[in-house]
């Protein structure tokens, strides 16, 4: 499969793409991640059908017309999913912070992340153009993921321990109601 001619991430809604992107995700998390990928491609593709994602840039010898950022959308989703559910921040490994990891994971909201991702990338996609030898698209996406994760870590860390269980309950109720 080639990404050379895609104009929308909706075009990636195929089994071949799903089979490739779930590689490396353990069986425990694979179904949830696959669900998030399908929702992204079918229901929220419009967030990425904008100039900052579709413009071809950075021509190479192998790809003289350049490439667009659409091919990075699912790998970026995979990166943030990995940080929330598989290799979580070490700060939550402390047994004295009962419930904080669960609250952190409950704070992951796919739609919120996709909107955050699209907005941040659209605002910053040209900010590293002066760096000739960096893959600026990849670097910007890494920063976006780190910023989203840090935002949620900060939110959970600022929650007093005595309020953790009630916030977990509230987030679970919120998910049921949505």
Of the candidates 77, 98, 101, the residue with the CA atom closest to the CA atom of residue 89: 101
What are the backbone angles phi and psi of residue 57, rounded to the nearest 5°? -140, 175
- Residue 2: its pLDDT value, please? 57
Residue stretches of the chain with pLDDT short of 50: none
Domain ranges of the chain: 9-177
pLDDT at residue 95 in the model = 75
Q: Which letter does DSSP use for residue 18 in this model?
A: H
pLDDT score for 3: 61
Q: What share of the chain is helix, strand, coil (3-state, %, to 5)?
A: 65, 0, 35
What pLDDT was estimated at residue 148? Answer: 98
Distances (CA, A) of 38 to 14, 21, 25, 33, 60: 9, 11, 15, 9, 31
């Amino acid at each position: 499969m080639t990404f050379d001619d895609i104009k929308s991430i909706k075009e990636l809604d195929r089994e071949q793409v799903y089979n490739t992107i779930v590689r490396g995700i353990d069986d425990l998390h694979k179904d949830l991640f696959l669900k998030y990928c399908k929702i992204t491609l079918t229901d929220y593709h419009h967030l990425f059908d904008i100039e900052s994602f579709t413009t071809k840039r950075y021509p190479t010898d192998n790809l003289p017309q350049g490439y667009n950022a659409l091919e990075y959308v699912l790998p970026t989703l995979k990166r943030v999913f990995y940080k929330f559910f598989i290799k979580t921040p070490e700060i939550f490994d402390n047994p004295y912070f009962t419930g904080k990891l669960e609250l952190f994971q409950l704070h992951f909201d796919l739609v919120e992340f996709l909107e955050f991702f699209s907005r941040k990338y659209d605002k910053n996609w040209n900010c590293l153009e002066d760096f000739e030898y960096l893959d600026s698209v990849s670097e910007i996406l890494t920063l976006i993921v780190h910023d989203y994760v840090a935002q949620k870590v900060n939110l959970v860390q600022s929650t007093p321990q005595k309020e953790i269980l009630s916030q977990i309950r509230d987030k679970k109720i919120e998910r049921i109601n949505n």
